[in-house]
C-alpha cells in the first residue's frame, strides 16, 4: 500500500442510483459527474450510473464533456456551465443557455433564473427548434422547502406553454424530498456518491457512501507531560499520551481544519490532534498500538458529513478535495463493485 488507499465502490453507486430512481418515479435520473465525479473519477462513476439506469450525464464544462464523449459515444451529455457552441457541436454535447443568443445546430436547454440569482435568463424567450429542454436551479432545496417550492411554481408557470419540452429543476435534495420539483428529469450529483445533500446521515435517505479512504499508522510514540506533536505545538500532552502518526496530510485532501475530527484506528474512533501537516497528521491513542495498524479516514461508518461539520464546510467540498479520481492523487486508487 502507498501512504493511503482510496476505494471507489461502484456497487454502492448503483444502489444509490436505484434509490434515486425509485424516489423519482417517472422522472428521468441524470447523473451529475462534474468535477471528476465529485472527486470519485468521472469515467467510472458515469459508466456505473448509466448501467444502473441514469439516462444522461451532466458536467460543468465543455472540456469535461469532451473527455466523457470519448468513453460514451452515444450518450446524452449536458454541459451545465457557460460554453462555446462551436466546441460543443461536433461532440454532440447539449448546452445550457443562460443568456444571449441561442445557437443553432446544437441541442440547447434554456435556463431560467427563478431565484438562484446566478446563471439564468430572467425571462423565457420563444424557444427555437434547437431547444430540447427548459431548466432552473434551486437555491434552497436542502434548507428552505417553501422557497424551493416557490421557485418550482414560477418555473412551471413560465414554461407552461412549452410543456412538450423536457423540464428539469431538481438536484439531489429535491429529488429525494421535494416531489413537486421532480418534473421530467432530475440532475443528481451528491446523492449518487452516497453523500447527504442535507449534511445528515446519508442512510436517512437510503444512500450508501461510495468512497472509502484508508491508511495506517506510520509511527507510534509516547509523549510525556509537556511534550507536543506538530507545528506550533498546538497539542500538548497533559498526561503521558500515546499518539500515532498517519502519513496523510492536507496535500492529500485531509484538510488543515480537520483537527479534532475522528478517524478509525483499528476499528475504534480516535481523535485527530495537533496541526495537520502537508503530509501527515497525529491521532491520539489510548494505548500503544503496532506500526501498520489500519487507520480509516472515510468509510466503515465514518462519514464525510462528520468531517465536514468539524471543518465548517460541506461534504461536497471535502470529497472534491480528496480527488479520488485524479491521476495526480497521492493515494493508491482501487475500483470495486461490491
Binder of ligand PLP out of 80, 211, 217, 314 (CB under 6 A): 80
The 128-147 site mask, x for binding ligand PLP (CB under 6 A), equals ---------x----------
- Active-site residue set: 34, 231
CB of 141 to ligand PLP, least distance (A): 8
Residue 275 to residue 52: CA distance in whole angstroms: 42
Q: Cell numbers of 160, please? A: 407552461
| Residues 6+ away with beta carbon under 8 Å from 324 | 6, 8, 39, 40, 41, 211, 213, 331, 333
CB of 142 to ligand PLP, least distance (A): 7
Tell me if 190 contacts ligand PLP by CB under 6 A: yes
Which DSSP string corresponds to 151-194? Answer: HHHHHHHHHGGGTTSEEEEE-HHHHHH-GGG-SSEEEE-GGGGT
Binder of ligand PLP out of 4, 159, 166, 172 (CB under 6 A): 172
Residue among 162, 158, 187 nearest 27 (CA): 187
Q: Which is nearer to ligand PLP, 59 or 283 (CB)?
A: 59
Residue 315 Ramachandran class (φ > 0 left, ψ -120 to 50 alpha, else beta): alpha
Give the DSSP letter of residue 150: H
Tell me if 109 contacts ligand PLP by CB under 6 A: no
The 192-211 site mask, x for binding ligand PLP (CB under 6 A), equals -----x--------------
Q: Which is nearer to ligand PLP, 96 or 280 (CB)?
A: 96
| # of chain residues touching ligand PLP (CB under 6 A) | 12
Q: Which is nearer to ligand PLP, 21 or 270 (CB)?
A: 21
Q: Is the dihedral of CA 38, 326, 7, 299 positive or negative?
A: negative
Tell me if 189 contacts ligand PLP by CB under 6 A: yes
Q: Which is nearer to ligand PLP, 177 or 271 (CB)?
A: 177
| Residues 6+ away with beta carbon under 8 Å from 163 | none
* Residue ranges binding ligand PLP (CB under 6 A): 32, 34, 80, 137, 171-172, 187-191, 197
Amino acid at each position: 500500500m502507498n501512504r493511503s488507499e482510496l476505494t471507489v465502490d461502484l456497487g454502492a453507486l448503483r444502489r444509490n442510483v436505484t434509490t434515486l430512481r425509485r424516489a423519482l418515479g417517472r422522472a428521468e435520473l441524470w447523473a451529475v459527474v462534474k468535477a471528476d465525479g465529485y472527486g470519485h473519477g468521472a469515467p467510472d462513476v458515469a459508466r456505473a450510473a448509466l448501467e444502473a439506469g441514469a439516462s444522461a450525464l451532466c458536467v460543468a464544462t465543455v472540456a469535461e464533456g469532451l473527455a466523457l464523449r470519448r468513453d460514451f459515444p452515444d450518450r446524452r451529455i449536458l454541459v451545465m456551465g457557460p460554453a462555446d457552441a462551436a466546441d460543443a457541436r461536433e461532440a454532440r454535447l447539449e448546452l445550457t443557455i443562460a443568456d444571449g443568443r441561442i445557437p443553432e445546430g446544437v441541442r440547447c436547454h434554456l435556463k431560467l433564473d427563478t431565484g438562484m440569482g446566478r446563471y439564468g435568463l430572467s425571462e423565457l424567450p420563444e424557444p427555437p427548434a434547437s431547444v430540447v429542454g427548459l431548466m432552473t436551479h434551486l437555491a434552497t432545496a436542502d434548507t428552505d422547502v417553501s422557497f424551493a417550492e416557490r421557485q418550482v411554481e414560477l418555473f412551471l408557470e413560465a414554461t407552461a406553454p412549452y410543456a412538450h419540452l423536457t423540464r428539469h429543476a431538481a438536484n439531489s435534495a429535491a429529488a429525494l424530498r421535494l416531489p413537486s420539483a421532480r418534473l421530467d428529469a432530475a440532475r443528481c450529483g451528491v446523492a449518487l456518491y452516497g453523500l447527504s445533500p442535507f449534511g445528515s446521515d446519508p442512510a436517512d435517505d437510503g444512500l450508501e457512501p461510495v468512497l472509502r479512504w484508508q491508511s495506517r499508522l506510520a509511527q507510534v510514540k509516547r509523549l510525556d507531560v509537556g511534550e507536543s506533536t506538530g507545528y506550533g505545538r498546538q497539542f500538548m500532552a497533559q498526561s503521558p499520551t500515546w499518539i500515532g502518526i498517519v502519513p496523510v496530510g492536507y496535500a492529500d485532501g485531509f484538510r488543515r481544519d480537520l483537527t479534532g475530527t475522528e478517524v478509525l484506528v483499528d476499528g475504534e474512533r480516535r481523535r485527530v490532534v495537533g496541526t495537520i501537516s502537508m503530509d501527515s497528521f497525529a491521532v491520539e491513542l489510548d494505548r500503544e498500538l503496532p506500526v501498520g495498524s489500519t487507520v480509516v479516514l472515510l468509510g466503515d461508518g465514518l462519514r464525510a458529513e462528520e468531517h465536514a461539520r468539524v471543518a465548517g464546510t460541506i461534504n461536497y467540498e471535502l470529497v472534491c478535495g480528496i480527488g479520488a479520481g485524479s491521476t495526480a492523487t497521492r493515494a493508491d486508487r482501487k475500483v470495486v463493485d461490491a
